[in-house]
């Protein structure tokens, strides 16, 4: 155990969980590693890219607020940069 004081919390090991963050540039294997961890160890994967795309999906409240604040020109630029067809 990583030098944690197990006497302060009963059954301390049952509370020990790790959060793994994957970072890196484009095409560095983050998705490959995340898929491996999910498949090999049945770990849940929270993909920030997916959440970000959902947050600014067409007609979403957040996207409407962004357009209201920054204008249609910003929306046009964003639509081109997020087009993943």
pLDDT in tens, 15-71: 568 889 999 999 999 999 999 999 999 999 999 989 999 998 888 999 889 889 988
What is the structure's pLDDT at 16?
A: 65
How many Å apart are CA 82 and CA 7, to the nearest integer? 50
SS3 43: coil
Asked if 77 and 85 touch (Cβ cutoff 8 Å), the reply is: no
What's the pTM value of the predicted model, to 2 decimals?
0.58
What was the pLDDT predicted at 85?
46
Q: Residues with Cβ < 8 Å from 75, sequence gap 6 or more?
A: 63, 66, 67
C-beta of residue 64 within 8 angstroms of C-beta of residue 57: no
- Whether 1 has a pLDDT exceeding 50, the answer reads no
């Amino acid at each position: 155990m990583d030098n944690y004081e197990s006497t302060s919390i009963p059954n301390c090991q049952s509370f020990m969980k790790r959060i793994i963050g994957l970072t890196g540039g484009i095409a560095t294997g983050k998705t490959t590693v995340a898929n491996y961890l999910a498949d090999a160890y049945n770990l849940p994967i929270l993909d920030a890219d997916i959440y970000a795309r959902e947050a600014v999906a067409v007609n979403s409240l957040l996207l409407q607020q962004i357009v209201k604040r920054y204008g249609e020109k910003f929306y046009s630029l964003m639509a081109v940069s997020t087009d993943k067809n």
